Amino acid sequence: MTASSTIYALSTAPGRAAIAVIRVSGPKASNVLHVFTGRTPAARQAKMAILRHPQTREPLDQALILYFAAPSSETGEDIAELQIHGGRAVVRAVLDALALIPGCRPAEAGEFAHRAFINGKLDLTAAEGLADLIDAETEAQRTQAITLASGHHATLYQGWRTRLIECQALIESAIDFSDEGDVSNSAANMATERATALNDEIRSHLAGADRGEIIREGFRVVIAGPPNAGKSTLLNALAHRDAAIVSDEAGTTRDAIEVHLDLAGLPVTVTDTAGIRATSAKVEAEGIRRTYDRAKSANLIIWLTDIAQSAPVPPDLAQEGTPVLTVANKIDQSSAPSSDRDLGISAKDTSGIDALTQEIVSCAQSRIGDTVDLVPTSARQSFHLNQCAEHLQNYLDHQNHDIELRAEDFRLAADSLGRLTGRVDAEDVLDQIFSRFCIGK
Ligand SMILES: Nc1nc2c(ncn2[C@@H]2O[C@H](COP(=O)(O)OP(=O)(O)OP(=O)(O)O)[C@@H](O)[C@H]2O)c(=O)[nH]1
Ligand SMILES: [Mg+2]
């Protein structure tokens, strides 16, 4: 990816639409508008224009064109934006024509955002936020992603990094003045005081990482229970579609089946699993192993049983601390009381499903908490924050170590935050982050 090339891509979704937006970024952006329309409009002023073929001058489409001059643009480069009609042939013709203009080439996935990063328009956390925003399917995900994309995390992390660099400077001055005991000690004490406060802040921020990741990945609900309890029927009722096969044959479901739901604005992933029983059938046994696997990473387990049968929750099913909701199914079929279980439902005629949904939502809400708090949202962020906290802890735990080594702890801690925002060693993770974007972003 060299910044000297000019890149272009369809930024709206492919397929027939009223309008399609093609973006061009790089030194030839203004030239592209000139070739198509005979002029470049003033920056940031929308103009109607006929786009003409670069060679034949045949009209291609009537478009609304916009020009953004570097550095005041999303990528920090010159940008041309063509708002054309969204017919497939129109889009094709304009993209083909762009390919004829020297110095222009199609953009790779995420290349616009990558250039914005290189030009200092956003840091890596904001880039992650943009990718999350494009992927967001629920309100909670949108809220979290827009906070990240708006640079609130970036500001917090930059602030911490600056404070770490100040601590490092204090320790270095303590080294410089080491023959003046008082001055040296007070600089070192000040650094320790600041490091303690910073360590507390970073650790309490990290304590929310779990919540941030649940919002991003979805709150995981696993439906488990004996065969034929109606687990697949319940999954279908929650999803409002036939996602899983239902049959009166015990042992129908083998592979775990996942559906992604939006429950009251919260992302929830519900997994239907193979019914648990003793079996000698190989495939079914593998299915049951998978049920245990899923249950181990669940945020909530629904233990579903037939109301007419009592089946206790297997003691090794849930991870310690994972809530288990016991639910009796098929209440339409039996008058037996369900008082020994948390809820009674009929997955088939959907009675009790609203109450169950409500229960799932309140479990998810209590786990996710207040989504306006700033929390780490990805494993990558948590990793670097943890590294930073470890270096700080190292500093705090070794008060009697050689002072020169202790300045190094601050440098390493600051570097961890630098990696988080992309100021240090960004190359390693760029592909991983920017390839998540679609082409045109
Ligand atoms: N009467 C009644 N029948 C139900 C209800 N829920 C499920 N069933 C029936 O129970 C049978 C088993 O349902 P499934 O949803 O396949 O059960 P499962 O727990 O997924 O079973 P396995 O995949 O074999 O573990 C089917 O015949 C369903 O139609 C219910 O609420 N009431
Ligand atoms: Mg099933």
Domain coordinates of the chain in residue numbers? Answer: 6-107, 125-208+376-434, 215-368
CA-to-CA distance for 159 and 161, rounded, in angstroms? 5
Contacts of 11 (CB under 8 A, 6+ apart): 21, 22, 23, 112, 440, 441
Atom of ligand 1 nearest to the CA of 346: 31
On the CB side of 200, CA atoms within 13 Å amount to 5
Q: Is 291 in the pocket of ligand 1 (CB under 6 A)?
A: no
Distance of CA 418 from the midpoint of ligand 2 (Å) = 48
Q: Which CATH number describes the domain made up of 215-368?
A: 3.40.50.300
On the CB side of 124, CA atoms within 13 Å amount to 26
Q: Is 267 in the pocket of ligand 1 (CB under 6 A)?
A: no
* Nearest ligand to the CA atom of 225: 1
Contact 272, 296 (CB under 8 A): no
Q: Is 223 in the pocket of ligand 1 (CB under 6 A)?
A: no
Q: Is 232 in the pocket of ligand 1 (CB under 6 A)?
A: yes
Q: Is 227 in the pocket of ligand 1 (CB under 6 A)?
A: yes
CA-to-CA distance for 169 and 162, rounded, in angstroms? 11
* Mutate-to-test residue for ligand 1 from 222, 232, 302, highest number of ligand atoms within 8 A of CB: 232
Can you give the pLDDT at residue 8?
Answer: 98
Alpha helices in 67-138 (DSSP H): 88-99, 111-118, 124-135
Contact 406, 171 (CB under 8 A): yes
Amino acid symbol at 253: T
Residue with tokens 């601050």: 410
The listed CATH number (2.60.40.1120, 3.40.720.10, 3.40.50.300, 3.30.1360.120) that belongs to domain 6-107:
3.30.1360.120
Residue with tokens 């479990």: 363
* Nearest ligand to the CA atom of 356: 1
Can you give the pLDDT at residue 105?
Answer: 97
Contact 409, 394 (CB under 8 A): yes
* Nearest ligand to the CA atom of 249: 1
Residue with tokens 């670097």: 384
Can you give the pLDDT at residue 1?
Answer: 45
Using DSSP bridges, classify how beta strands 219-224 and 257-263 pair: parallel, antiparallel or unpaired: unpaired
Atom of ligand 1 nearest to the CA of 245: 16
Torsion angles phi and psi, residue 284, rounded to 5: -65, -40
Strand order in the sheet with 324-329: 257-263, 266-272, 219-224, 300-306, 324-329, 343-344
| Helix, strand, coil % in the chain, rounded to nearest 5 | 45, 15, 40
Closest listed residue to residue 39, CA positions, set 31, 359, 387: 31
Using DSSP bridges, classify how beta strands 266-272 and 219-224 pair: parallel, antiparallel or unpaired: parallel
Cα angle: 273, vertex 277, 281; to 5 degrees: 90
Closest listed residue to residue 91, CA positions, set 8, 193, 25: 8
Closest listed residue to residue 61, CA positions, set 101, 19, 16, 9: 19
Q: Helices 403-421 and 181-206 sit at what angle, rounded to 10 degrees?
A: 30
Distance of CA 297 from the midpoint of ligand 2 (Å) = 20
Can you give the pLDDT at residue 80?
Answer: 98
Q: Is 131 in the pocket of ligand 1 (CB under 6 A)?
A: no
Closest listed residue to residue 97, CA positions, set 60, 48, 64: 60
CA-to-CA distance for 293 and 295, rounded, in angstroms? 5
* Mutate-to-test residue for ligand 1 from 222, 231, 233, 277, highest number of ligand atoms within 8 A of CB: 233
Amino acid symbol at 301: I
Q: What does 304-327 look like in DSSP terms, one character per residue?
A: EEETTS--PPPTTSSPTT--EEEE
Contacts of 74 (CB under 8 A, 6+ apart): 25, 68, 112, 116, 121
Amino acid symbol at 198: L
Q: Is 247 in the pocket of ligand 1 (CB under 6 A)?
A: yes
* Mutate-to-test residue for ligand 1 from 246, 259, 349, 353, highest number of ligand atoms within 8 A of CB: 246
The listed CATH number (1.10.260.40, 1.20.120.430, 1.10.10.10, 1.10.760.10) that belongs to domain 125-208+376-434:
1.20.120.430
- The one-digit pLDDT tens for each residue of the chain (441 residues) are 445 799 999 999 999 999 999 999 999 999 999 999 999 999 999 999 999 999 999 999 999 999 999 999 999 999 999 999 999 999 999 999 999 999 999 999 999 999 999 999 999 999 999 999 999 999 999 999 999 999 999 999 999 999 999 999 999 888 887 777 777 778 888 999 999 999 999 999 999 998 999 999 999 999 999 999 999 999 999 999 999 999 999 999 999 999 999 999 999 999 999 999 998 899 999 999 999 999 999 999 999 999 999 899 999 999 999 999 999 999 999 887 778 899 999 999 999 999 999 999 999 999 887 656 799 999 999 999 999 999 999 999 988 778 878 889 999 999 999 999 998 877 777 877 888 888 888
Torsion angles phi and psi, residue 183, rounded to 5: -60, -45
CA-to-CA distance for 145 and 106, rounded, in angstroms? 28
